[in-house]
Amino acid sequence: MNDKVPMIDVRHISKFFGSVIALSDVSMNVYAGEVMCLLGDNGAGKSTLIKALSGVHKPSEGEYYVEGEAVDFDSPRDALTRGIATVYQDLAMIPLMSIARNFFLGSEPTKGKSIFKRFDTAFADRVAREEMAKMGIDVRDPSQAVGTLSGGERQSVAIARAVYFGAKSLILDEPTAALGVKQAGTVLRYIAQARSRDLAVIFITHNPHHAYAVGDRFTILKRGRTFGTFTREELSREEMVRMMSGADELDALSHELEEFAREDALKDDGGLSDVEQALAQSLEESEEMFSQEEDE
């Protein structure tokens, strides 16, 4: 992996908002075909960092390289032009419009000329269905309103859209935060799909179990500074959980994972057993750890 040039590479990035130091001397990179998880508490600087990556904020200090080339983005459009797509928690989608319409929002395919020009529904429906199928999602009816989809399915439309429009890097700011257990699992699957399609993925989450299920490397932020980047070998799941969540939260987490495993067991679609295995293992270990902690 190290002979390749990173898709996204920031070095010694700082960001000041007046006297607030939101980020201080943070370095991080992500390669095509890997998932980099960005972890840290509330206010750690995760969103600020990805806003710097996606052209929303200009870093106050530091260097930024995309595929080895120094960049200086003035807007999110600049970042998008370099293949960096960002999916926010509050998605820019219109609930009453169809899946296909939302898929092409801002880049509508048309047919006919001048005053006869209109949205090419057949094309949009076909492409939306095909692209979703490539991500392993079966859309029965692309003319169905997005508002009728689950939160996880909506996230997946946003991910499929980014991939279709040529994203090379995908940044996801807490895509699983507001989701139920089963839907979070759905989104984790699409993250793994995006990786297997050779995208560089930056995945922000508060949940160490979600991170461990799909992450290849982990960057941990705390109060605007980085603890560094760790591989799975360097940072055990237990260490990550301890770093990220208090003991009180373990109860909720292990309960959530139990649900996760149960719901997953009900499904039998064969695919992406890595994610499922990682989750199952995560569950077992967290139960063990939790019961040990009760003993103490």
Q: Residues interacting with Mg ion, by CB under 5 A?
A: 47
Q: Residue 185's binding partner, choosing from ligand ATP, Mg ion, none, with beta-carbon cut-off 5 to 8 A by kind?
A: none
Q: Binding partner of residue 163 among ligand ATP, Mg ion, none, CB under 5 to 8 Å per kind?
A: none
- Contact call for residues 128 and 172 (beta carbons, < 8 A): no
Task: Please state the closest distance from residue 240 (CB atom) to ligand ATP, in A.
Answer: 16
**Looking at this protein, which amino acid is placed at residue 103?**
F
For ligand ATP, the closer of residues 17 and 69 by Cβ is 17
C-beta separation of 172 from 87 below 8 A: yes
Interface with ligand ATP, residue 176, by CB under 6 A: no
Interface pick for ligand ATP out of 40, 59, 152, 175 (rule CB under 6 A):
40
Cβ at position 210, least distance to ligand ATP in Å: 14
Q: Do residues 208 and 278 make contact, with C-beta atoms less than 8 angstroms apart?
A: no
Is 45 a binder of ligand ATP (CB under 6 A)?
yes
In whole angstroms, the minimum distance from the beta carbon of 48 to Mg ion comes to 8
Alpha-carbon separation of residue 269 from 103, 186, 187, 261, 276 (angstroms)? 25, 12, 15, 14, 11
Q: Which does 147 bind (CB under 5 to 8 A by kind): Mg ion, ligand ATP, none?
A: none
> Total residues at the site for ligand ATP (CB under 6 A)?
11
Question: Of 221 and 283, which CB lies nearer to Mg ion in the complex structure?
Answer: 221
- Angle at CA of residue 110, ends 99 and 101, nearest 5°: 10
- The smaller minimum CB distance to ligand ATP, of residues 91 and 280, is found at 91
Query: By CB under 6 A, is residue 20 in contact with ligand ATP?
Result: yes
CB of 133 to Mg ion, least distance (A): 32
**Helix (H, G, I), strand (E, B), or coil: what is residue 252?**
helix
Q: Does 46 bind ligand ATP (CB under 6 A)?
A: yes
Q: Which amino acid is at 291?
A: S
Nearest alpha carbon to residue 241 among 202, 195, 288: 288
* Dist CA 34 CA 6 (whole Å): 10
Instruction: Calculate the dihedral angle through the C-alpha atoms of 157, 158, 162, 164, rounding to the nearest 10 degrees.
Output: 10
Q: Does 14 bind ligand ATP (CB under 6 A)?
A: no
Q: Which does 40 bind (CB under 5 to 8 A by kind): ligand ATP, Mg ion, none?
A: ligand ATP
For residue 17, state whether it binds ligand ATP (rule: CB under 6 A): yes
Residue 211 in tokens: 């991170």
Task: Name residue 111's beta-bridge partners.
Answer: 118
CA distance 202 to 39: 10
Residue pair 83/77 in contact (Cβ under 8 Å)? The answer is: no
Least Å distance, CB 151 to ligand ATP, is 18
Q: Site residues (CB under 6 A) for ligand ATP?
A: 17, 20, 22, 40, 42-48
